[in-house]
């Protein structure tokens, strides 16, 4: 059986949400968002390590959450994050154990991922270097210039919105991060870094409920889902 480490970036400042408490530590239905998220991975048999990247101020909060999550056979580690999501993940990658062969990256603030979709993405690594969970674009996407003049309308049937988890063979993810850091390349997701080193990556259809808590409306929806109102 494959051995999987899940890296959970949780070091952001939550500017768009505007909450004084960092997003992963906001409680919904009696548990922090981070704890809801971690619990989705703990029922996946391949998971051997959970590595959370967070700000220096929140390291104790994460250690406290780990006490509620402990599961036999799973190592829990916390590392200090960086100024960009990519740096937070790079710091976590340095802590991935020798015995691990695949690594998943999943945002702390996507608590509605399902174990079934995680398992489906893992299974695709038999044939690909990576698997990205996403959904077909529902809006028409426009490419614009600096003045917002529309330059192009890509064919929507070929456009997907990438979510997380994004799961990769360990070696290629390490290579991709090393390459990106060396060449000062910043991607908005992990897949874009692996694409740049030639990795073959497949899109796995996830669900619309796998929302990223980003704006105040997302937090309201998350509260409604977890309280059973929708």
- The footprint of ligand CTP (CB under 6 A) covers 9-16, 23-24, 53, 81-85, 88, 107-109, 212, 214
Residues 9-38 within binding reach of Mg ion (CB under 5 A): 12
- Closest approach of Cβ 12 to Mg ion, in Å? 5
Residue 211 tokens read as 């929302």
Residue count at the site for Mg ion (CB under 5 A)?
1
- Closest approach of Cβ 9 to Mg ion, in Å? 9
Which residue, 81 or 134, is less far from ligand CTP as judged by CB? Answer: 81
- Closest approach of Cβ 36 to ligand CTP, in Å? 12
Which residue, 12 or 22, is less far from Mg ion as judged by CB? Answer: 12
Site string for Mg ion, 135-154 (x = CB under 5 A): --------------------
Which residue, 21 or 71, is less far from ligand CTP as judged by CB? Answer: 21
- Closest approach of Cβ 116 to ligand CTP, in Å? 22
- Closest approach of Cβ 84 to Mg ion, in Å? 8
Residue 114 tokens read as 């399902």
Cα three-residue angle 158-167-84, rounded to 5 degrees: 90
Residue 71 tokens read as 């599961």
* Region from 7-15, 45-53, 58-66, 133-141 binding Mg ion, contact rule CB under 5 A: 7-15
Which residue, 12 or 206, is less far from Mg ion as judged by CB? Answer: 12
- Closest approach of Cβ 122 to ligand CTP, in Å? 21
Which residue, 28 or 128, is less far from ligand CTP as judged by CB? Answer: 28
As a whole number of Å, the end-to-end CA separation of the chain is 37
Q: Which residues of this protein are in contact with Mg ion, per CB under 5 A?
A: 12
């Amino acid at each position: 059986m494959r051995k999987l480490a899940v890296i959970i970036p949780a070091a952001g400042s939550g500017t768009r949400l505007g909450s004084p408490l960092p997003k992963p530590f906001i409680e919904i239905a009696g548990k922090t968002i981070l704890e809801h998220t971690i619990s989705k991975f703990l029922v996946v048999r391949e998971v051997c390590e959970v590595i959370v990247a967070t700000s220096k101020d929140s390291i104790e909060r994460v250690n406290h959450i780990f006490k509620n999550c402990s599961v036999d056979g799973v190592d829990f580690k916390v590392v200090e994050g960086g100024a960009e999501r990519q740096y937070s993940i790079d710091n976590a990658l340095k802590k991935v154990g020798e015995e691990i062969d695949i690594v998943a990256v999943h945002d702390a603030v996507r608590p509605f991922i399902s174990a079934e979709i995680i398992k489906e993405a893992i299974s695709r690594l038999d044939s690909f270097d990576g698997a990205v969970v996403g959904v077909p674009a529902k809006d028409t996407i426009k490419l614009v210039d600096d003045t917002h003049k529309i330059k192009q309308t890509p064919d929507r049937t070929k456009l997907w919105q990438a979510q997380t988890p994004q799961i990769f063979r360990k070696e290629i993810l390490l290579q991709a991060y090393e390459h990106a850091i060396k060449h000062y390349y910043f991607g908005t997701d992990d897949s874009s870094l692996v694409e740049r080193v030639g990795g073959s990556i497949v899109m796995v259809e996830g669900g619309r409920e796998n929302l990223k808590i980003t704006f105040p409306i997302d937090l309201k929806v998350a509260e409604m889902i977890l309280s059973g109102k929708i």
